[in-house]
Amino acid sequence: MKLSVDRTLCDGNGVCMGIAPDVFDIDDDLNLHIADEIPDDPAVQAQVRQSVTSCPVLALTLEE
């Protein structure tokens, strides 16, 4: 799973962080941080897929 963010689009809306808090973190300056390693856990990976399709500014891309 390779996850990337287009920082020109990301607005720190927090939808991804709400769905997959172990993978996405947004700091108080609204910058998104993505975990270096996505846990090898099907539940977390499902959350990541859901985060990508739920991003309201379409900033996340996932390569599986």
Partner 1 sequence: MVGETSQTIVVAGGSLAGHTVVTELERHGFAGQIVWVRGREGTAPYSRPALSKELIQGKVTAETIRLPVPQPYGPRVRIMDGAVCAGLDPHADRVLVTQPDLSERWIDFDALFVCTGTQARVPEAFAGLPGVHSLRTLADAERIKDRLAVRPRTVVVGAGLVGSEMAASLRSCGLPVELIVQGQLPMEAVFGAELGRFCLERHHANGVTTRLGATVTALTAEGPVTLTYDDGESSTADMVVLGLGAVTSCDWLDGCGLDLSDGLGCDEALRTARPNILAAGDVANWRHPLFGHRMRVEHWSNASAQARHAVESWLAGQEGRQPPAFADVPYFWSDQYGLKYQMVGHARGHDEVHVEEAGTGGYPFVTYLRGGRIVAAAGVNAPRAVMRMKARIQADLAGDPTSEEVYAR
- Picking from 2, 16, 17, the residue whose alpha carbon sits closest to that of residue 56 is 16
Among 27, 37, 40, 64, binds partner 1 (CB under 8 A): 27
- Residue 11 CB, nearest approach to partner 1 (Å): 7
- The residue from 2, 7, 29, 64 that contacts partner 1 (CB under 8 A) is 29
CA pair distance 3, 62, nearest whole angstrom: 5
Q: Considering the rule CB under 8 A, would residue 41 count as an interface residue with partner 1?
A: no
Q: Quick one: which of 4, 6, 41, 58 contacts partner 1 (CB under 8 A)? A: 58
CA-CA distance, 60 to 1, in Å (whole number)? 13
